[in-house]
Structure 1
Amino acid sequence: MSSSGTITAGAVQELLSALVRLRPESTGINARAGIPRAKLDDSAEMLPLAAFTSMLEAAAHESGNRTLGLELGKDFRLAALGPISDLVHSAQTVGDALESFNRFFACVQTNTHTTLSVSDGFARLSYAIQDPAIRFREQDAGFSLAIEYSMLKGLLGRSWRPIGVEFEHNAGDDLPFYQQHFDCPLRFGRRDNALLFSARLLEAPVPWADRNRHARLRVDLAEAMQRRAKLLDLVRGVEAWIAASLCRSVSTDIEVAAGDFGMSTRSFQRKLADHGANYLDIRNRVRSDIARCMLIETSVPVTSIALQLGYSETSAFSRGFKSLVGETPVEFRKRQRGVEAAAAA
């Protein structure tokens, strides 16, 4: 594995805004995933995809709402995806729109497989994350398919319904909610996530077609993809994996990490050493980064921060934090609050 997935800050910001409107208690969840607010200011900035999915999963887990991603995706503004939204709406036909969407989706999100296939009169628009740093992805699947569903309804009219919807994950007890939203046959435990519909609809014209604008956008997005060709390396991918795991308070043991990255523990350690890195050092650095972010941007108690970061005792967290930062968590938060107060005066 040589790279890890990324997503534009604009998409993350839109998700966070919708999440906080729905669940005000989710304020600060970006800090828990190790993403400072400042990194969200530039909508074109690329952030770790694992941070995005971990925010969704943590919010769903804490609320007990396994369909939270689907609910958020229903209200997501396609415009938040940036120029790719204009690209879709300026295409000549629905088929052209989906081909362009798939071709340039990496401008919004990388390490993700989006394809359109046609067989026996049926079209299949599929979506699947291909990144071992993403441990939890059920909420993202519902979120992403809801966005694609809304996109197709926008192109084909509000009365459009898919012939079927498929999901990688299992339905659990939430089948009625999925049925209510999609109003069509559903299948779970499939190889990827997909919307199925009649292939003849690919020839339907797009109401806002603009051939010249579409051609210009394709050129611009092709250049943007080339500029973003420098993806996250293995170390950054491991950092994202650890941050996502800590956000869900699950194991960050090296054996688990190695398995998710498709390696034995020894091979994983060797690969990291080739990058001049050590797993425990990476984990300590990620813990420190998330701790600083939470101490600055939230009022979560130090004891709770220590628990989320996998420390059995607050004292161990304080010692580890001080060894890396030079201050205890309490001292660090107090100083940062003093700096903010002085700046606001």
Structure 2
Amino acid sequence: MAVTIPATIVANILEGAVARGADPAAILARAGLPGIVGALEAPDFVRLVRAVTLALDDELAGLQDRAQRVGTHAIMAAHVSHADTLGAAYGRATGFMDLMDNSFRFSLRESGASLLFEMTRIPGRTVLNTTAVEMVLVLVGRMLAWMVGNRGALNGAWFEHAAPGHASAYRAMFQRAPMQFGQSSSGLAIPRALTRLPVLRNEEQATAYARRTPLDAFLPQDASAGLPLEVAVAVETCLSVEGRLPDMVHVAATLQMAPHTLRRRLKADGVDYSDIRKQVRRDMAVRLLATTGDSVEAIAAQTGFSEASAFIRAFRSWTGLTPRAYRKSEL
């Protein structure tokens, strides 16, 4: 499924560049984009963000009070990778980001069934537009979900700004979580039950992920918790061990329930079994490309494709890139 970034977010990124005195025409040329842009597909948006980042030497794209120099995100990713669990990873990320003392204070606290990751504006500091908040929450939430194998969901997300014109895009950006606007701060509510998930990525893998930012952050991602998470684990286990995608009958038997019961319960959660299979397959392919030196042909076989050409077509439909181009996609 292709991802389209709303025109407002694209304009907000360019606004940051202009605010720092950069030439927008030169940036668009560097990104290989036409002089007038609106909504962008994810790969084009990634090129734009990278062009802005490199032109400004600022991973925050000119949207906050001070520049965050290129390489800072990779240092944070390496630091976070040494946590044992998702909860500890959020703790490390929060402490690291708060040390930056830029436009926001960052904090972490428990509330009911959630662990709250919160960002509060520092009075008098520049926050250029809503994307200054959106990008931080998307990048942090996606990176930490990736740290535990792209598993997990959100209990909620809240924002200090009023609902923007592109608020409909937030459903995909924030995993279909319930949302609130016009709050005193912004943040993510992470289910406490998921905070015990183990961190699976090592420092080398985390640094490589950060260099690809924001590509991985804008791949499609569905929320996965409860029964959908159990199904995803069963699919991934079968794919890893046997190299094949199991059908619903196989997974239902693994979970000790009837296929019609599994179908009914997934439907009640608003999830389709075929979508879970596709996401597990895609996530495994992305992980193998990012963390191994296996050939495209070998990865195609490991992810259940009978031919490399079919895998390449599928991967392009997921990311807008070929597997080889994805491997090279770093700053």
Name the TM-score, length of structure 2 as normaliser.
Answer: 0.41
Asked which structure has the greater RCO (Cα within 8 Å, sep 6+), the reply is 1
More helix by share: 1
Structure having the higher Rg: 1
